[in-house]
């Protein structure tokens, strides 16, 4: 499926107004997409094993969305195909007082994946140019006056782009996903959280109230994506009104990325080959040796 038009690597501008949230022209065939998703999960599992064994590179997946955008579901979906030992998921909520006492990248840097692993950030340092921009949070933070200017966001876009370049140059691939839902779809999902009793716990009144800032959020997403789209840390703007399509899209990009990395099991050295042969010999003869030792000790006790 042609997903290039949803990829932003700095070669074209992203215009959020009217951007596809439904993927209607891509497919309406849910069954076919579900099948492809399952196949992707299988491929992910196979390639992740090699990726882990190779251990030379890490993947950092960043998920951003408006509330009820489907981040949790997308993570759950790809996790079902991955070995949990090779993945770490980090959630970034409203910062604690300890986190606020540090620079905004600090808590994210602490959670970067090691080589061989896939790190998934459920929200990230992008919150510091999204919610922080919509509500001008810097005004109430304990910062020196030189930092408390509206320029803070342009500075952060630049810092983020530099940081992601640093990650790329140090063996960490960054993939960024904006699960793009329409305002109507968000309303539908909130109402579902109200109508279905076992979904009530998911509803937060502050999320519902945040809808009044929808247009400001859209502007903040558009700016953040345009300022930080690069070939080494591209953004994918995922049409996310249909959960099954968004999950397929997410798994497809992960599979494509692993294909691109083309991880290989480490080659076995001559010395290791000799050790393997020796181990095989030892294991095959183990039972014979044991019974010989046993009969020796039996004959000793008889005497
Ligand atoms: P759900 O989709 O289930 O609602 P969630 O990711 O929204 O999950 P919540 O605990 O509801 O999780 O919300 C986390 C909140 O923390 C969001 O409103 C987000 O904007 C906020 N947040 C995250 N990082 C920051 C930050 N750096 N500054 C201010 N707020 C932040
Ligand atoms: Mg929330």
How many beta carbons lie within 10 A of that of residue 43, not counting itself? Answer: 17
44 CA distance to ligand 2 centroid (A)? 28
Q: pLDDT at residue 301 above 70?
A: no
Among protein residues, the one whose CA lies closest to atom 22 of ligand 1: 94
CA 117, 122, 125 angle in degrees (round to 5)? 95
207 CA distance to ligand 2 centroid (A)? 6
Burial 190-218 (b: 16+ CB within 10 A, else e): beebeeeeeeeebbeeeebebeeeeeebb
- Percentage of the chain modeled with pLDDT above 70: 97
Higher pLDDT, residue 25 or 144? 144
**β-sheet with 58-65: strand ranges across:** 7-8, 235-239, 172-180, 58-65, 118-122, 87-91
CA distance linking residue 210 with residue 208, whole number of Å: 5
Residue 72 near ligand 1, beta carbon < 6 Å: yes
The model's pTM is 0.92
Residue where the block lists tokens 């997946």: 61
204 CA distance to ligand 1 centroid (A)? 11
CA distance linking residue 44 with residue 252, whole number of Å: 9
Residue 127 near ligand 1, beta carbon < 6 Å: yes
- Number of C-alpha atoms within 13 angstroms, CB side, residue 274? 3
- Which of 75, 131, 209 to probe ligand 1 with, by most ligand atoms within 8 A of CB? 131
Residue 67 near ligand 1, beta carbon < 6 Å: yes
The counts of H helices and E strands in the chain are 11, 6
Among protein residues, the one whose CA lies closest to atom 31 of ligand 1: 94
| Helices 152-169/214-228 angle, 10° precision | 40
Residue 117 near ligand 1, beta carbon < 6 Å: no
> Which pLDDT score is estimated for 288?
77
Over residues 62-86, mean pLDDT = 96
Q: What is the pLDDT of residues 39-56, one digit of tens each?
A: 999 999 999 999 999 999
- Which of 94, 125, 130, 243 to probe ligand 1 with, by most ligand atoms within 8 A of CB? 94
Q: What is the pLDDT of residues 150-191, one digit of tens each?
A: 999 999 999 999 999 999 999 999 999 999 999 999 999 999
């Amino acid at each position: 499926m042609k997903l290039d038009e949803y990829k932003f690597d700095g070669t074209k501008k992203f215009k959020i107004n009217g951007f596809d949230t439904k993927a209607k022209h891509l497919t309406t065939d849910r069954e076919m997409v579900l099948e492809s998703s399952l196949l992707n999960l299988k491929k992910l599992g196979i390639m992740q094993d090699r990726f882990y064994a190779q251990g030379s590179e890490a993947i950092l997946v960043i998920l951003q969305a408006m509330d009820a955008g489907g981040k949790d579901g997308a993570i759950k979906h790809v996790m079902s195909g991955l070995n949990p030992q090779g993945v770490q998921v980090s959630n970034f909520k409203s910062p604690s007082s300890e986190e606020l006492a540090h620079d905004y990248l600090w808590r994210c840097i602490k959670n970067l994946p090691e080589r061989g692993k896939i790190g998934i950030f459920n929200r990230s340092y992008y919150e510091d140019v999204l919610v922080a921009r919509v509500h001008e949070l810097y005004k109430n933070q304990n910062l020196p006056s030189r930092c408390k200017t509206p320029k803070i966001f342009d500075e952060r876009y630049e810092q983020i782009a530099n940081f992601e370049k640093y990650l790329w140059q140090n063996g960490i691939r960054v993939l960024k996903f904006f699960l793009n839902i329409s305002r109507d779809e968000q309303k539908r999902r909130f109402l579902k959280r109200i109508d279905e009793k076992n979904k009530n716990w998911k509803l937060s009144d502050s999320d519902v109230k945040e809808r009044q800032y929808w247009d400001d959020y859209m502007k903040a997403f558009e700016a953040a994506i345009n300022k930080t789209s690069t070939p080494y840390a591209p953004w994918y703007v995922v049409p996310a009104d249909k959960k099954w399509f968004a999950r397929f899209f997410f798994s497809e990009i992960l599979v494509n990325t692993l294909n691109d990395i083309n991880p290989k099991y480490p080659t076995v050295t001559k010395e290791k080959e000799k050790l393997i042969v020796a181990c095989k010999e030892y294991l095959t003869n183990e039972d014979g040796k044991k019974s010989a030792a046993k009969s020796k000790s039996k004959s000793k006790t008889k005497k």
